[in-house]
Amino acid sequence: MKGVVFNILEELVIETAGIAGWNSILEKTGSDGIYTSGESYSDDELFALVSEICIALDMPAEKVVGIFGEYLFEQLNARHPTFTASATDLKTFLFSVDTVIHGEVLKLYTNPNLPRFEYQDRGDNQLTMLYRSPRKLCILAEGLVRGAAKHYGKEVSIDHPVCLHNGADHCQLDVSIK
Ligand code: HEM
């Protein structure tokens, strides 16, 4: 995972638990905490940080990863505001993630590890996103979608009837925009 993701996780932990909280998490995982935005670091290091955060905050991983996804969206959007600026509504924006946004990420960063999304348009304010990634970060994807909804001033409900974590080859995210 790119350093930018670690940088944003660090910001969230410092906001929530202070610098002392972040340093204590780094101590527990044995990480040096130096992450350059465009460099790649091991996914295992990110997952180890997340598990220590769960212990420190006494929260389940699903909750922490979901909250992080929302925050990650806000911060990625602050760094790259052109994507939301060019999509007038949430549904159009979500349809642009796979080819337009992550397509640009492929040009901006060297060898990023990105998921793939396929889409089904289910009519007004409804869409299905089929998520595929060897990292199985579907809960992060849900958080990112909620973060995007917040940006557009919308609420969403997300059903997740098919999941990589239950042995499927993709996750199905049924998004309803309210
Ligand atoms: C609702 C909107 C979005 C969704 C659902 C989404 C989904 C994801 C997910 C789930 C990952 C984790 C990697 C994986 O699952 O394999 C990821 C990685 C990433 N995404 Fe997105 N994304 C969204 C918007 C954005 C935006 C606006 C940007 C801005 C440039 C962005 C840039 C990135 C970057 C830099 C990574 C990390 C790549 C790496 O570490 O190698 N994404 N995205």
Q: What is the pLDDT of residues 117-169, one digit of tens each?
A: 999 999 999 999 999 999 999 999 999 999 999 999 999 999 999 999 999 99
* 171-177, strands of its sheet edge to edge: 116-121, 126-132, 171-177, 156-162
Alpha carbon distance 113, 111 (integer Å): 7
pLDDT band at 84 (very low <50, low <70, confident <90, very high): very high
- pLDDT value of residue 77: 98
What letter would DSSP give residue 97? I
The whole model's pTM is what? 0.98
Q: Which of 44, 68, 91, 97 to mutate to test the pocket of ligand 1 (most atoms within 8 A of CB)?
A: 97
Ligand 1 centroid–CA 69 distance in Å is 9
Task: Please give the CATH number for the structural domain made up of 68-177.
Answer: 3.90.1520.10
> What is the sign, positive or negative, of the torsion defined by CA atoms of 36, 5, 52, 171?
negative
Ligand 1 centroid–CA 81 distance in Å is 14
Q: H or E element: which one contains 176?
A: strand 171-177
- pLDDT value of residue 125: 97
What mean pLDDT value characterizes the chain? Answer: 98
Ligand 1 centroid–CA 114 distance in Å is 6
- pLDDT value of residue 46: 98
pLDDT band at 61 (very low <50, low <70, confident <90, very high): very high
DSSP, collapsed to helix, strand or coil, labels residue 148 as helix
Share of the chain above pLDDT 90, in %: 100
Alpha carbon distance 128, 173 (integer Å): 6
pLDDT band at 66 (very low <50, low <70, confident <90, very high): very high
Alpha carbon distance 130, 73 (integer Å): 19
Q: Where does ligand 1 bind, in terms of residues with CB under 6 Å?
A: 1-2, 4-5, 76-77, 80, 83, 94, 97, 101-102, 105, 109, 112-115, 133, 135, 137, 140-141, 144-145, 148
Ligand 1 centroid–CA 145 distance in Å is 10
- pLDDT value of residue 160: 98
Residue 136 zone, left/alpha/beta (φ > 0; ψ -120 to 50; rest) = left
CA angle 172, 133, 147 (to 5 degrees): 65
- pLDDT value of residue 76: 98
- pLDDT value of residue 4: 98
